[in-house]
Amino acid sequence: MGKTSKDKRDIYYRKAKEQGYRARSAFKLIQLDETFHLLDGTSANMPCAAYHAIQIQGDITAQSTADAIIGHFHGGKAHLVVSDGAPDVLGLHDLDEYLQAQLVLAALNISLHILEEGGTFVAKLFRGKEVSRLYAHLGRYFRHVVCAKPKASRNSSFESFVVCQGLHFSHGPPTSMALNLFDLPYEHDHARLAGSTPVLFKSCGDVDGWDADQSYPIDDNNTYAHQEPLQKPINPPYALAKKSKTK
């Protein structure tokens, strides 16, 4: 929700401020829920790297973090895990895709310890040429894996979300996060990872709704008042440049 010219033109940025959301990404989650009904029947949900919605802070690769989450649910497990984390984009697509995939796998690893059987895992991913291997990993643990593109996600971005439903442990649940859960025990699993793994693609949101890549004029008939973002960046990269200009 920074003050760049692109953000000012983005309709979802403006709508988020008007409706009191902390970030435009709220519309992505709303559109995903409208399509997949993620929150139906859930009462224990765990967001990973959700903007300003973190109740437990910790290293998602550490067993202690998984234990703290389960303790938060009084020994129970989550019905839904949503991972909206992403690394700083470098502009090198292959490297960005790899780093994001590693983040998804780390989120998957902890999810296998805190998510109940039959639960749902949702994660942001970058759709590159090697994303099929990531689908194959996820398909080992979930009965349904779908790639979804919310309307609020810019078409110019290769960002998408993978929605995994129906957690199951065909080889038994992992006993420790320290174990390499991708040491596959069966030959047919290796074959799946080596080949292509097609998944269903779904577009979420009203096809006639707001377009994240389009600029919309401000309605002159309405009275607009400037509103600051509900949560400004903590340590933005432009802070030093801004400080030097004010001297």
Cα–Cα distance between 234 and 217 in angstroms, integer?
30
What pLDDT score does 129 carry? 80
Tell me the two tokens of residue 47. Answer: 């967001």
Percent of the chain that is helix, strand, coil (3-state, to 5): 35, 20, 50
Our answer to whether residue 232 is catalytic in this structure is no
> Domains in the chain, ordered, with CATH?
5-245 (3.40.50.150)
Tell me the two tokens of residue 52. Answer: 């300003």
Exactly one of 17, 28, 77, 124 is catalytic; name it. Answer: 124
Element (H, E) at 244: helix 239-245
What pLDDT score does 147 carry? 96
Tell me the two tokens of residue 231. Answer: 């949560």
What pLDDT score does 181 carry? 53
What pLDDT score does 212 carry? 85
What pLDDT score does 51 carry? 53
What pLDDT score does 92 carry? 84
What pLDDT score does 194 carry? 58
What are the backbone dihedrals phi and psi of residue 115, each rounded to the nearest 5 degrees, phi first?
-105, 135
Which residue bears the tokens 């859930």? 42
How would DSSP label each residue in 91-154? S-HHHHHHHHHHHHHHHHHHHHHHEEEEEEEEEEEE--TTHHHHHHHHHTTEEEEEEEEETTS-
How distant, in Å, are the alpha carbons of 61, 94, 101, 216, 234 from that of 3? 33, 28, 29, 17, 14
100 in Cβ contact with 87 (< 8 Å): yes
Walking along the chain (247 residues) 10 residues at a time, the average pLDDT comes out as 50 84 88 92 61 70 90 89 86 86 92 94 90 88 95 89 93 71 51 68 87 79 72 75 77
Amino acid at 226: H
What pLDDT score does 2 carry? 43
